[in-house]
Amino acid sequence: MSNKILLAPIFQNARFDTEQRRSGLKELAELANLEMEPTELTENDADGVVGVIASSALVHPSFYQAADKLRVISRWGVGYENTNYEIATQHGVFVTIAPEHMVTVAEYTIAQWMATLKRVYTLNRLSHGGDFAIIRTYEAGGSTLGLYGFGRIGQAVARRAKPLLGNEGRLLVYDVRSDIQELATEYGAIVVDDPMILFRESDTVSLHVAGDDTIVDYDCLCAMKPHSSLINPSRGNLVDDQAVNRAICEDRLYYYVVDDPVNGPRKIHKDNPRIICTNHNAGITLESAIRLDLRTFGQVTDALQGRKPAHILNPDVLDHPRVTAWLNTE
């Protein structure tokens, strides 16, 4: 059976066809045959697979068990919920991420912050409907921006937001990390030890949290100011959809922006003019796609040529006999 590298569906998207992508795929093709990744990876897809550049496809434990040549699952992005990386570790397979989109998501957040303060979505709707009224909008300077989560993306947002907040504005941050006070001082932010304070005092709250558990419920939303906005460029499931839809309809807050399409759990938001849904596109620009391509190409190439790939999610795998048999440690 010929060796194979499975590619995420993004590699079929002509909008991101670049010279860097074509060149990188050509080099990968010298290492193994290139095939497209299915929507789920099971034992039926395992024959000959040595590497995967994965999208959000679910990787079943049976795939790891059957893929005896597999060295690396390289995520085209940072979400790893579907990789079953603990099982990968048991079978001696690297799982890597590609944190190449921090700037992109930070810019998206700033853009939505400005759009919500300036009521861009409402003004557009009014104007197209023939209503040319002047409405109340807000400035960033002197306002309070709350960041729920202060990892790499949260810090990138803070770096861009601080000049816009000005001397009178406040940047509030909530995070459970041990070094949060030190980081907040570096960025001129104020740490709050209870997320309810963040929701109660902020004019805009932006979520920058990994994982898929719901952290924003109806009580959080009721704590917000009627003119405030909630921005969620992370995962749709972080916010209770029923609760936020209700809260918007009750004028508990003004806008909810979520970087997820209007389908599945988010279908409830269809045609709500103050709930803005984007197609999980916040982290993908032409520039970030090039970086993601190059990073994942490098990770797969390194693994197949006996080198340790960058940004390993499961470092314990380094001690697995299957890895030590091929890894060049010199």
Is 308:71 a contact under the CB 8 Å cutoff?
no
Parent domain of 191: 102-277
Query: How many domains does the chain divide into?
Result: 2
**Residues 126 and 19 grouped into a single domain:** no
Say what the pLDDT of residue 78 is: 87
**Residues 221 and 305 grouped into a single domain:** no
**Residues 131 and 273 grouped into a single domain:** yes
Say what the pLDDT of residue 81 is: 85
In a domain, 67, yes or no: yes
**Residues 237 and 304 grouped into a single domain:** no
In a domain, 157, yes or no: yes
Contacts 24+ apart (CB under 8 A), 243-249: 243/216, 243/217, 243/218, 244/216, 244/275, 245/269, 245/272, 245/275, 246/218, 247/218, 247/221, 247/222, 248/272, 248/274, 248/275
Is 304:122 a contact under the CB 8 Å cutoff?
no
**Residues 177 and 195 grouped into a single domain:** yes
In a domain, 329, yes or no: no
Alpha helices in 194-275 (DSSP H): 195-201, 218-222, 241-249
| Tokens matching residue 195 | 């997320």
Say what the pLDDT of residue 185 is: 97
- pTM above 0.85? yes
Name the stretches of the chain with pLDDT < 70. Answer: 1, 330
In a domain, 74, yes or no: yes
Q: CATH number of the domain at 203, please.
A: 3.40.50.720
Percent of the chain with pLDDT over 70: 99
In a domain, 330, yes or no: no
**Residues 34 and 46 grouped into a single domain:** yes
**Residues 200 and 251 grouped into a single domain:** yes
| Tokens matching residue 269 | 């938001």
**Residues 94 and 107 grouped into a single domain:** no
Say what the pLDDT of residue 104 is: 96
The continuous run of DSSP H or E covering 89 comes out as helix 85-90
Say what the pLDDT of residue 212 is: 84
- Amino acid at site 24: G
**Residues 149 and 107 grouped into a single domain:** yes
Question: 177-204 pLDDT, tens per residue?
Answer: 999 999 999 999 999 999 999 999 999 9
**Residues 309 and 295 grouped into a single domain:** yes
Instruction: Provide the mean pLDDT of the chain.
Output: 96
**Residues 208 and 115 grouped into a single domain:** yes
In a domain, 269, yes or no: yes
**Residues 162 and 242 grouped into a single domain:** yes
In a domain, 199, yes or no: yes
